[in-house]
Structure 1
């Protein structure tokens, strides 16, 4: 997955926006002002993306995939850093993005969720 493909997939999530609150090196992807992903190219040139994750699943993913690490500069219980180094299938990266997005949408205020459900359908928002 290239940086452009990653960005396009993150922006394909309903009502997602790209922002740069930490400077031009780190792209933050939000839904209703809540972050669900942060992508950046590391110092070693490897693209990475921080994704929210269920705590139990976060540990399991780290055990299975060497490219999944505790969230860099994040709450390591709830966030993973995923290295986009070619070792993970694109479908698995997309699944982790979907999971992160769904967790954040579930945490939105009821009125925000209901509006999104009306506009996009539950199956799109909560697919993980």
Structure 2
């Protein structure tokens, strides 16, 4: 759990605006870090695909979570875009987004990084491709 806190901080934001303890994410089998922004057309095209995959995998009883890491230019754009997503949000004012993108080699958005929340180890830096090739999540957790 300490490895998750080290990369994401103590808390992330839930859909209701409440803080969610990052240590609780270790209960999942997969954690996605979704780097995206509303101003980015490829992001706006991929987000609905990811939302449907997330719903499908979750409905199948599989345990995973995604944290949206916004590269929007302002908090209003971030929140508007986040309203289209069913998962968690790294607080917009977090100093960690640059560090996360550097740690995982994010060079463009959208980017979806999958890590093992129990160990913190990288599963794939190309989660976007994994989801696009398996929209219903039959190959979950895409190892």
TM-score by length of 1: 0.30
TM-score by length of 2: 0.27
Q: More strand per residue: 1 or 2? A: 1
